[in-house]
Structure 1
Amino acid sequence: MTTSEIRPYEAIPQVEFPQDFYMQVGPLLASYYEQYGPIFRAERFGRQITYMLGPEANRFILVNNRKKFSHHIGWSSIFQVEQLLGRGLLMMDGEEHAHHRKIMNPAFTIGYMSRYLPLMQRIIREQAESWLERGEVDIYEEMRTITFNVAAEALTGLKSGAEVDTFRHLFVSLLNPAGPFESDEEYYAYITPLQAQLRELLLPRIEERRKQPTDDVFGLLVRAHDEHGQSLSDEQLISHINILLVAGHETSTSLSAWLLYLLSQHPDYTQRILQEQTQLLAPGSEPTLEEVKKMKVLDNALSEAERLYPPVANGPRGVAEDFEFHGYHVPAGTFVFYSIAGAHRLPSIFKDPENFDPDRFAPPREEQKKSPYALVGFGGGPRICIGINFAQVEIKAIASHILRNYRLTLAPNQHIQQVYGVTGFPLNGIRMRFNRA
């Protein structure tokens, strides 16, 4: 297409979302893709947002033209993440991001996971011990407790107990404010005391790390210098820890809960996972990292949970530089969502996309490999989620322990429904009953 044939921004198809859009994000966006193609616009969050979806759009935004897009503008302008949690890694662009990510990278390599795995297994085991006695639990809230405690201890050295419980309650209150609020002033009157409490809890921990350095992520950050050679300030460290604790548990909470729900509904596939577990593990033993990495049947179920229930529906970006995509001009200063949930439901990529079918990820089908950047629950390209190894090892450890030791059944009289705000969550939780396996 020649330059003269590039259509203006105003020509991008405009769609109007139904009121219950947040309850059907993936299927609805996939249907708009079929109707309008991989780019269209909608009014959301009080502004015009351009939606781009499909493997081609994902590669365009995440890889080939990633410098034209700003994470900072997207996350801070649309979702006010910076105002809430500070300027952590998620908020950074360009060289600033590259420098700070390089500081953290060593603690997120797959080899480092062998250090975290025993800690994960201990926290999983301790939390699960109460389920038989309690009879029925909300598995979403149980997963939040496990994944937050793991993130707090593994990434920052905070020990499970009253201190971590306080941190978790503060973060839950920040991320799920008890609104609605009549004004910005009312909203900030709610969050400011919570932010102050978090700061008061973290400052003594920062001082401890400066006096006694550790080799967890917190310790690496305290010892590091910014791109100007200066040690990171208290505010920078607090912002990084806030983002790490939120990102380090939010996605794993959602994915592990939905994985367990899906497996409770598909006992035949669960049996295949258990057969794989029996082949890999000695009776009563906890898996090593090498054994976790060999759990291919479980891995495919996790990929299918990621496809059907991605923790984030749409990745926000600010457009930092004009670009053309699919015959349309998109100017700097506008906003883009690359649609994760929409891309995961495209029937041209994933056969029968509404069905639970983990074998789509196994040879010879491997549907995700035939269209690179089709599965992007953890993003992709150079800025793929830094915690992808951490999350996948943790969720597989959770599933391995629970499936080998308990029998799960869904409690009756529930309406199970994923809804999306900034992240996704089950509308009324997922109540499950546990019996000894």
Structure 2
Amino acid sequence: MLSGLFNFLPRFSVLFQSVALGFIILVLYYIISTYLRMRRNKKLLAGVKCPEYHWFFGSFKFFPTDPHDRTQHLVDICNKYGTEQGYTLLWGILGIPIIVICSPRLMANICKTNEPKAKGLMGAYRFLQQWLGEGLLVSNGNKWARNRRLLTPAFHFEILKPYTNVFNKAADTLVDKLREKAESGERFETFQNVCLCTLEIILKCAFSYDKDVQNTSDTNPYIKAVYRLTDSLVVRFLNPLYYIDFIWYRSKVGKQFQRDVDFADSVAEEIIERRRETLLKEDTSKEKRYVDFLDILLTAKDEDGKGLSRLDIRNEVNTFLFEGHDTTASGISWVLYSLAQHPEYQKKCQDEIDNVFGDKDDLEWSDLSKLEYLTMCIKEGMRLHPPVPIISRETTKDFDLGDRMAPVGSIVQLNIWTLCHMENVWGSDHMEFKPERFSKDNAANMEAFQYVPFSAGSRNCIGQNFAMNEEKVVLSKLLRNFTFRLDPDHEVRRSMSAVLRTQTGMYMFVEKRNV
């Protein structure tokens, strides 16, 4: 027996040496190829105006640690370095170039391409993939094109029309909650309350999931999980060690991320299972409820009769559950914030809303196009505080920047936040709220791709009409019933993750209006 073991050891030693040699060769290949790539990138981008950076850790080593200060830092460096070039350059870890778009011209150039969402070493969508899988937000290529084609009918205007009733009812619930605050004189936190309202709306509109979200609790567990998930993505992006999955999933924040992903998946699975049961039990003799997003997910078929897999459906439910409530909550909250700062604009909105409502209790589909001034305020609010501040692509070939080529493998940031705050595009008053920027005359003179809050091109937001209609109804209901003013003792500070939120809340007071 022992002789057999001794006979095996030499063979094991040879095998170990072969594996070790293969590993060493692989590491050397990676080091050499990384060095050559870094050298090529530095050569192609030599002379580009950009902020300071570390040769290994890149530009983010010198970014402010405070989230609010980081958002302002981005604006400052783009206005300092990106005005003439139309872009500025940040360096990621290991010399990965990050091209930050600062001009409508370059925004148009990248939006018109089919370059994929960034999933490489520094690609934020790689971090999102565990949560949202290959849903529309994350997927690329044929996978994205197929799902986009199958899901587009869910956002036809005939499908969107009945949702107006859902918007009205959910907004009424929020109005009832705020009426108590008006009577007591107590301040309320805007984001949390609006987020519950928009979550209820997306559950009912997209999934016919009838649940009293707004009155069950002030801190819905799904909303809390989404906040942690998106905040975790920022933590991961700013720490190069967390790019390595082995380290990330063994860290405290990585373990919490996994728990939150599992919880989000369980919510999605519950929604899907309930609908399957409903479809089996529905009485075809009765009038059918409106067709919703989940109906289309479950019944969509290719030309060859092939539908979406169970995993595909769950990924899209997770995607639309997140994007369908968090982004609209951000948009509504920041518009209220701006109007609360400017009573004169708030009053103009209220006068228009009163006129459109007339003697009605609810807005109708046909009323939405009449809210012209409110629409101007919504657009300006989303310019000043874009709900989705940054989108990124990864170049599969050298990308033309005008004065040079960005090397293949570069991250190109469709940085909506910074483009909306370029002085040479919007003026020196770009940090001020001025709805008149979006009057018909001024809007007609804007450059194409100057204002892209929902992205643009083939990969624009599929739900942008849904979102705009929802914001119009919810804001109309709120402004018809209340006048909003900020809590002067609370400073609102921005926090940028997948969605633009606040660090410590947005507190306001409401006063009841007599209408």
TM-score normalised by the chain length of structure 1? 0.89
Q: Which has the larger displacement, 406-415 or 295-304? A: 406-415
Compute the RMSD of aligned alpha carbons: 2.7
Q: Note the 1:158-169 alignment, pairs <5 A.
A: 158-161=209-212, 165-169=220-224
Offset, 1:33 = 4.7
1:151 alignment partner in structure 2: 202
Tell whether 2:76 aligns with 1:40: no
Q: Which has the larger displacement, 304-313 or 7-16? A: 7-16
Separation in 2 of the partners of 1:71 and 1:226?
24
Are 1:224 and 1:232, in contact at CA under 8 Å, matched by a contact in 2? Answer: yes
Deviations 1:385-430 (A, max 9, x none): 1111111111111110011101212112111222312321122211
Q: Secondary structure at the match of 1:90?
A: coil
1:401 alignment partner in structure 2: 477
1:335 alignment partner in structure 2: 411
Out of 417, 437, 448, the position equivalent to 1:360 is: 437
Q: Secondary structure at the match of 2:424?
A: coil
Offset, 1:228 = 7.3
Are 1:11 and 1:328, in contact at CA under 8 Å, matched by a contact in 2? Answer: no
2:28 alignment partner in structure 1: none
1:140 alignment partner in structure 2: 191
Offset, 1:145 = 0.9
Deviations 1:283-342 (A, max 9, x none): 352111111121110000011011110112221111122222112111222211122112
Q: Note the 1:88-167 alignment, pairs <5 A.
A: 88-134=135-181, 135-161=186-212, 165-167=220-222
2:75 alignment partner in structure 1: 27
Separation in 2 of the partners of 1:434 and 1:239?
39
Relative distance call for 1:414 and 1:204 in structure 2 (3 A) is closer
Larger radius of gyration: 2
Q: Which structure is higher in RCO with an 8 Å CA cutoff and minimum separation 6? A: 1
Separation in 2 of the partners of 1:333 and 1:349?
28
Q: Which has the larger displacement, 421-430 or 163-172? A: 163-172
Gaps of 5+ in 1: 1-6
Separation in 2 of the partners of 1:26 and 1:113?
37
1:303 is matched by which residue type in structure 2? K
2:320 is matched by which residue type in structure 1? L
Offset, 1:143 = 1.2
Offset, 1:171 = 2.9
Q: Secondary structure at the match of 2:306?
A: coil
Relative distance call for 1:337 and 1:363 in structure 2 (3 A) is same
Q: Secondary structure at the match of 1:412?
A: coil
Offset, 1:263 = 0.7
Are 2:78 and 2:88, in contact at CA under 8 Å, matched by a contact in 1? Answer: no
Separation in 1 of the partners of 2:103 and 2:152?
29
Separation in 2 of the partners of 1:45 and 1:306?
31
Out of 241, 259, 273, the position equivalent to 1:193 is: 259
Separation in 1 of the partners of 2:485 and 2:335?
13
Q: Note the 1:261-410 alignment, pairs <5 A.
A: 261-351=337-427, 352-366=429-443, 369-410=445-486
Out of 92, 98, 108, the position equivalent to 1:49 is: 98
1:53 is matched by which residue type in structure 2? C
Deviations 1:186-236 (A, max 9, x none): 244223333333333433442443454482111111112468753322221
Separation in 1 of the partners of 2:462 and 2:121?
17
Tell whether 2:227 aligns with 1:172: yes
Separation in 2 of the partners of 1:378 and 1:350?
18
Deviations 1:150-192 (A, max 9, x none): 1122112222236994443443343345997994112442233
Separation in 2 of the partners of 1:316 and 1:74?
11
2:117 alignment partner in structure 1: 71
Out of 199, 202, 205, the position equivalent to 2:268 is: 202
Relative distance call for 1:8 and 1:174 in structure 2 (3 A) is closer
Are 1:22 and 1:421, in contact at CA under 8 Å, matched by a contact in 2? Answer: no
Q: Secondary structure at the match of 2:313?
A: helix
1:427 is matched by which residue type in structure 2? Q
1:48 is matched by which residue type in structure 2? P
Are 2:389 and 2:415, in contact at CA under 8 Å, matched by a contact in 1? Answer: yes
TM-score normalised by the chain length of structure 2? 0.76
Identity %: 22
Out of 100, 104, 107, the position equivalent to 1:58 is: 107
Separation in 1 of the partners of 2:44 and 2:235?
38
Q: Secondary structure at the match of 1:244?
A: helix
Relative distance call for 1:320 and 1:400 in structure 2 (3 A) is same
Relative distance call for 1:178 and 1:10 in structure 2 (3 A) is closer
Offset, 1:109 = 2.7
Separation in 2 of the partners of 1:133 and 1:264?
19
Q: Secondary structure at the match of 1:269?
A: helix
1:3 alignment partner in structure 2: none
1:172 is matched by which residue type in structure 2? Y
Separation in 1 of the partners of 2:130 and 2:346?
42
Are 1:100 and 1:226, in contact at CA under 8 Å, matched by a contact in 2? Answer: no
Out of 28, 51, 64, the position equivalent to 1:15 is: 51
